[in-house]
Amino acid sequence: MERTMDLCRELFVKLRKNELHDGDKVFLEGWVRGNRDNGSVGFIEFNDGTCFKNVQLVYTNETTGYEAISHFKYAASISVKGSIKLTPENKQPFEILVEEAAVLGDVSDDYPLQKKRHSFEFLRDIAYLRPRANTFNALYRVRNKLAFAIHLFFQERGFMYVHTPIITGNDAEGAGQCFKVVEDLKNPTEFFNANSCLTVSGQLHVEPFALAFRDTYTFGPTFRAEHSNTSRHASEFWMIEPEIAFADLEDDMNLMEEFLKFIINYVLTNCPDEMNFFNTMIEKGVIDKMNAILNSSFKRMTYTEAIEILDKAAKNGKKFEYNNIFWGMDLQSEHERYITEEVVKGPVFLINYPKEIKSFYMKLNSDNKTVAACDLLVPGVGEICGGSQREDNYDLLKTRMDEQGNTEILEWYLNLRKYGGCIHSGFGLGFDRLLMYLTGLSNIRDVQPYPRTPGSLKY
Ligand code: 4AD
Ligand code: MG
């Protein structure tokens, strides 16, 4: 099939360049997003998928087939021949005067979507139709641009993109949240070995590349068998994990800040229509919030300081669900949010966590109690990003790994410390959590095309 039709996206580009003129002929194929008429004139909100904005089609009782066109149904796919009419004084800068239109694919009466707002829960259940709903149309466009911006940032700076494996033999985080890989569901035998599982993080596999290429990153799907049924946890999510050699925690945090600002700025600049939509329909002020991030420098606070602040707040009557605050505790989301939303009122790096609550590969600080780790906390989400300087001392790492019981399976990882090792650091940014933050959508199930969460695998 030769695709000779025009695209709405290109019409908007021509308009911007003053290359769209009254009377220009167009041929479009797309979908009806609304159709109303008063007997002598009718309007179709039309979208061909190539841009977020709809285009208005106008038909009058002089248009051939007025009656049939006035019955074009919501969501039908149609073809249209017509001509451009510039309307600079109207909300839509141009419309298309229909000369001929035909239905390509009609819509049966059981079509579940209507031209009204549906609840997110309802839409989740029809994930295969969600891309047509405005919110999700905008979201998937932003998701696409954001993924591109991530590669752009790293590629412009000479980082090497590494494809780390999805099937692996180790639980990188050591938190016991791996999905097992078995060969045959009816007779579950291990295809590889007793430990084969889906990756929880590409970090351990990207570190050897950092020790050869210096600046590297991996960006791919990761899997966690966490039974936490929250709005921020998914069983499958994408993670961006840069790993940089000859770099300490400070360098790591600087990279995180520069990276985050770059991709936020990229989305604000390249998805203005979508971001305006989120700003009016989902979270009022989200654009200002993002601009504030761009213009702020991220605060740093030690874990110990955070505990002191939380303890004081609890003693002064602040009600946390987990109200027993003590040094050594793992911070709950409510604590993280209190720090970022009410104390700092912006993004903050929490650093130097007790070693007991962090992963085995993190660099032990000279106090022998804390590790050179950082979590980036942001308002509305809490932890969005976690990183650390990696333990580069062979003996210290071996001790931690012996405690963890993974020395044997990760011998190669330990060896890196005696084969020309160096100070190196990295972080992991949850792509889906970042999207929640950028769009104001408050449930991770609403930022993924096909969310996987405990008990939910419909598509
Ligand atoms: O803090 P995490 O577990 O860190 C790591 O996996 C390190 N290996 C990263 C590194 O240093 N290379 O996960 C990193 C980020 C979190 O900050 C969070 O944004 C996201 O991944 N994340 C999740 N997102 C959605 N659903 C889940 N279940 C998530 N678990 C973590
Ligand atoms: Mg973390």
Contact 372, 362 (CB under 8 A): yes
Distance 295 CA to ligand 2 centre (A): 25
Contact 41, 59 (CB under 8 A): yes
Amino acid 175: pLDDT? 77
Amino acid 19: pLDDT? 97
Which ligand 1 atom is at minimum distance from the Cα of 444?
A: 25
Question: How far is Cα 318 from Cα 300, in angstroms, rounded to an integer?
Answer: 23
Nearest ligand by distance to the CA of 223: 1
Amino acid 51: pLDDT? 96
Two structure tokens written together for 291: 């601009």
- For the cut 60, the answer to whether the pLDDT of residue 417 exceeds it is yes
Identity at 171, one-letter amino acid code: D
Establish whether residue 452 lines the binding site of ligand 1, counting it when its CB lies within 6 angstroms of any ligand atom: no
**pLDDT above 70 covers what percent of the chain?**
99
- For the cut 90, the answer to whether the pLDDT of residue 191 exceeds it is no
Question: How far is Cα 133 from Cα 114, in angstroms, rounded to an integer?
Answer: 9
Nearest alpha carbon to residue 15 among 53, 59, 58, 63? 53
Nearest alpha carbon to residue 153 among 275, 221, 240, 222? 240
Q: Considering only 84-98, 184-198, 214-228, 325-339, which range has the smallest mean pLDDT?
A: 184-198
Nearest ligand by distance to the CA of 353: 2
Establish whether residue 233 lines the binding site of ligand 1, counting it when its CB lies within 6 angstroms of any ligand atom: yes
Q: 112, exposed or middle or buried, with CB in 10 Å at 0-12, 13-18, 19+?
A: exposed
Mutate to test the pocket of ligand 1, among 178, 199, 230, 237 (most ligand atoms within 8 A of CB): 237
Distance 452 CA to ligand 2 centre (A): 19
Amino acid 260: pLDDT? 97
Q: Strands, E, within 246-318: which ranges?
A: 299-302
pLDDT in tens, 72-83: 999 999 999 999
Amino acid 3: pLDDT? 63
Nearest-10 Cα torsion for 346, 352, 353, 354:
-160
Establish whether residue 278 lines the binding site of ligand 1, counting it when its CB lies within 6 angstroms of any ligand atom: no
> What value does the mean pLDDT take over residues 305-327?
96
> What value does the mean pLDDT take over residues 52-58?
97
pLDDT in tens, 262-276: 999 999 999 999 999
User: Which residue did the predictor score with more confidence, 148 or 195?
Assistant: 148
> What value does the mean pLDDT take over residues 120-137?
96
> What value does the mean pLDDT take over residues 399-427?
95
Distance 400 CA to ligand 1 centre (A): 21
Establish whether residue 95 lines the binding site of ligand 1, counting it when its CB lies within 6 angstroms of any ligand atom: no
DSSP-derived secondary structure for 98-132: EEEEEEEE---TT----SS---HHHHHHTTTTGGG
**pLDDT above 90 covers what percent of the chain?**
87
> What value does the mean pLDDT take over residues 98-127?
96
Question: How far is Cα 310 from Cα 343, in angstroms, rounded to an integer?
Answer: 10
Contact 74, 34 (CB under 8 A): yes
Establish whether residue 373 lines the binding site of ligand 1, counting it when its CB lies within 6 angstroms of any ligand atom: no
- For the cut 60, the answer to whether the pLDDT of residue 1 exceeds it is no
Q: 453, exposed or middle or buried, with CB in 10 Å at 0-12, 13-18, 19+?
A: buried
Main-chain phi, psi angles of 429, to 5 degrees: -115, 125
pLDDT in tens, 317-335: 999 999 999 999 999 999 9
Rg (Cα) of the chain, in Å, rounded?
26
- For the cut 90, the answer to whether the pLDDT of residue 33 exceeds it is yes
> What value does the mean pLDDT take over residues 178-198?
83
Question: How far is Cα 330 from Cα 342, in angstroms, rounded to an integer?
Answer: 19
Establish whether residue 358 lines the binding site of ligand 1, counting it when its CB lies within 6 angstroms of any ligand atom: no
Nearest ligand by distance to the CA of 201: 1
- For the cut 90, the answer to whether the pLDDT of residue 171 exceeds it is no
Neighbours of ion ligand 2 (CB under 5 A): 386
The contacts found for 404-413 with CB under 8 angstroms, 24 or more apart, are 404/174, 404/360, 406/170, 406/171, 406/174, 406/360, 409/169, 409/170, 409/195, 410/170, 410/204, 412/208, 413/204, 413/207, 413/361
> What value does the mean pLDDT take over residues 144-167?
98
- 173 pLDDT tier (thresholds 50, 70, 90): confident
Distance 308 CA to ligand 1 centre (A): 26
Q: Considering only 123-137, 173-187, 370-384, which range has the smallest mean pLDDT?
A: 173-187
Which ligand 1 atom is at minimum distance from the Cα of 387?
A: 11
Question: How far is Cα 243 from Cα 164, in angstroms, rounded to an integer?
Answer: 12
Q: Which residues pair with 86 in a beta bridge?
A: 94
Distance 162 CA to ligand 1 centre (A): 18
- 184 pLDDT tier (thresholds 50, 70, 90): confident
